[in-house]
Amino acid sequence: MNFSKMTKIIVCLVILIFNPIILKAEIVEKIIGAIGEKVYTVRDIDTLASDFGLKLEKGSNPFEDELKRETFLKEIWSKIVEREILEKEAQRLGLGPKNEEVQKLYEDIRRRYGLSNEEMENELKKQNFTLEGYKRYLRAQLQKARIIEVFLSSRIKPSDSELMAFYEAHRDRYKNPLRMRVSQIFISFSERNEEEILKLIERVFYELKEGKPFEEVAKQYSEDPSARFGGDIGYITSEEVDPFIWEEIKDLRIGEISLPVRSKQGVHIFQVTDREEEEVIPFNEVRSRVLEDWWRETIEQEYAKWLEEMKRKYKVRNFL
């Protein structure tokens, strides 16, 4: 056998030996992680995404696509891990909800929003859920609630000093917001050109400058229903008015008149007639709110600790 012929045979043998491996490598998927002996791949993550109402967002370029893909995989994987742990612990402890309980919760939610079965399923699709995936999600929420109730909430009881410390650290949550009593003169855009509107605004400010009371000018010129009350629209807070309008009037002192403020409907001129400044509510008046907030945050912290402990127990491995 000459050398060239032997070389060809060796090359053929090498191809035969490695070809199965090459073919296999093409179909082997990337492993995302494992829980005990159970392995999860990228395909598993993509399949289970609809159990959590999540959908991969597209980036504006290939690099951003890759970042979003990585974030998506990590988020789904963390939710899968949590759900699998809840399922295992709930079954071990006899806390697993029955199918009828999950269905009842589903029906309660559907009725609460006044949706038919078809409307509910359409709404779930908009939120990237499948019907069965959503029910699996509800099952996990029931399991989580039961584990928290049995093992976590029973041992969490704050002292008054702990609640007071929480209150002091979060005083901004327990404030009465700034309230202002406001009157307005409203000039509508309807059936007027810009020149007519400017002339009317000039007339309003001329009369105010001449000392005519705001309420009288409002009764004469304002096109808002409040005109018959001298423009008085009562007390308002930042949550009750357009943010742009609030920014224009929030620093006005009692008796001050704003510059003209444009909205989609027309032009507004405001006068502040009273102010109730922002103030912290005394602890005794909000104790129940403080307790609720403290309990919710503490439960979240304790649950996170419990979940990390369970990850070690069930040998969760992350390969992302």
Q: Is 76 helix (H, G, I), strand (E, B) or coil?
A: helix
Hey, which CATH number is domain 177-279, 3.10.50.40, 1.20.1070.10, 3.90.480.20, 3.30.390.30?
3.10.50.40
- Cα separation, 90 vs 82, in Å, equals 12
Q: What is the pLDDT along the chain (320 residues), one digit of tens a residue?
A: 454 444 443 334 333 333 443 334 344 578 999 999 999 999 988 888 889 998 888 888 888 989 999 999 999 999 999 999 999 999 999 988 999 999 999 999 999 999 999 999 999 999 999 999 999 999 999 999 999 998 888 778 899 999 999 999 999 999 999 999 999 999 999 878 889 999 999 999 999 999 999 999 999 999 999 999 999 999 999 999 999 999 999 999 999 999 999 998 899 999 999 999 999 999 999 999 999 999 999 999 999 999 999 999 999 999 98
Q: Which one-letter DSSP state was computed for residue 260?
A: P
**What CATH architecture applies to the domain 29-174+285-320?**
Orthogonal Bundle (1.10)
Q: What are the structural domain ranges in the chain?
A: 29-174+285-320, 177-279
- Global pTM reads 0.68
Per the CB < 8 A criterion, the answer to whether 31 and 41 are in contact is yes
- CB count, 10 Å around CB of 117? 10
